[in-house]
Amino acid sequence: MSSLERSDVARLAALARIDMTDDDLVRLAGQLSAIVEAVARVSEVAGDDVAATSHPIPMANVHRTDVVRPSLTQAEALAAAPDAHEGRFRVPQILGEEA
């Protein structure tokens, strides 16, 4: 794989409308070349028998049936609240919001 040149990075920067100094272009050419080479090495190893994944281990959601159980009444839940108003917890105003 050929490495990226300063002119390649300058072209990409122009397309993205990013103003870069000559030092930035030279530095990024080396860094981007290293990234492209690393991706190329991974591509060589990953064969058709390796499935594309987003996680290294299988993931599954855990589902359970919702079951209605006895719980606190509204009055019991609010009994220990420092402040309540119209059946709800009252909390201090934040971020200058209107009450």
Is residue 12 in some structural domain? yes
Read off the pLDDT of residues 33-91 as tens digits, 9 standing for 90 and up.
999 998 888 877 777 777 777 777 888 888 889 999 999 999 999 998 999 999 999 98
Q: Residue 19 falls within a domain, yes or no?
A: yes
What local confidence, expressed as pLDDT, does residue 92 receive?
85
Number of domains in the chain: 1
Query: Is there a domain that residue 17 lies in?
Result: yes
Q: Which domain holds residue 18?
A: 6-45
Q: Is 24 exposed, middle or buried (0-12, 13-18, 19+ CB in 10 A)?
A: middle
Contact 33, 1 (CB under 8 A): no
In a domain, 97, yes or no: no
Confidence band of 10 (pLDDT split at 50, 70, 90): very high
Radius of gyration of the chain (CA): 29
In a domain, 72, yes or no: no
**55: in domain:** no
Residue 10 domain-assigned (yes or no): yes
Is the model's pTM score more than 0.75?
no
